[in-house]
A and B are shown apart, each in its own frame.
Chain A
Amino acid sequence: EIVMTQSPATLSVSPGEGATLSCRASQSVSSNLAWYQQKPGQAPRLLIYAASTRATGIPARFSGSGSGTEFSLTISSLQSEDSAIYYCQQYNNWPSMYTFGQGTKLEIK
């Protein structure tokens, strides 16, 4: 099983600043990595897939990078609406399992 580890667990940033969230895979997942945003009481929303491709309707403030085992999600010009938990997910090691990271809670202070 591929283990996905996200860091930091919590990140507190001021509005207008940028933030970088990290995700590490226990073995290579190539570029088969997605990022999701989940706000309280809501379902997750796909932000990024194939490590760096923005999903439909996602603003350019969100960008993804990386390949192999190291990935990052960068959010620029943070807004209060960006407060959420962000999850990475690998979909390379199928059919055995798609695994999610434990999440990074982003707070806009």
Chain B
Amino acid sequence: EVQLLESGGGLIQPGGSLRLSCAASGFGFSAYAMSWVRQAPGEGLEWVSVISNNGVRTYDADSVKGRFTISRDNSKNTLYLQMNSLRAEDTAVYYCVKHLGAVASPGDYWGRGTLVTVSS
């Protein structure tokens, strides 16, 4: 059974940093692209960052470019999102998403999400 377990969310002040983690199990982690997708309270879905299966290629939404960094450790089956210079508009539930295949594919499994609240 595919499982994606996010952690690392919480309350952080504007300008601060957080590192989200996603522990993956139940599938060959190193074979699939992975993404982070977020959802602000009461709002729709926004894709944040994607990383190729081997970690060589990463791409970010314009809204987080230069502030967020996606990475992965295939030896630990773990996906990360380093979030710096956080803003109030980054407040959202952050979902870890497994892609169906390579980066140009949809997300077929989603974690339950971790809430990040940016507020003073």
Contacts and interface: CB of A to CB of B under 8 A. Distances in A.
Interface string A16-53: 00000000000000001010101000111110010000
B106 A100 contact: no
Contacts of A101: 44
A63 B116 CA distance: 35
B108 to A, nearest CB: 5
A97 B47 contact: yes
A1 to B, nearest CB: 8
Given A43-B113, A94-B104, A100-B44, 11 more contacts: A38-B45, A43-B111, A44-B45, A44-B95, A49-B100, A49-B108, A55-B108, A91-B104, A92-B104, A94-B59, A99-B47
A56 B45 CA distance: 22
Interface residues of B, number: 23
Contacts of B35: 98
Task: Tell me whether chain A's interface is mostly helix, strand or loop, or mixed.
Answer: loop
The 8 A-B pairs with the shortest beta carbon distances in the complex, nearest first, are A34-B106, A95-B59, A43-B110, A98-B47, A100-B45, A49-B106, A46-B108, A94-B104
Interface of B: 35, 44-47, 50, 57, 59, 61-62, 95, 100, 103-113
13 contacts: A32-B104, A43-B112, A49-B100, A89-B45, A91-B104, A91-B105, A94-B59, A94-B104, A95-B50, A95-B57, A97-B47, A98-B47, A100-B46
Chain A, interface residues (CB within 8 Å), range: 20 to 34
Contacts of B59: 94-96
Contacts of B57: 95
Nearest to A49: B106
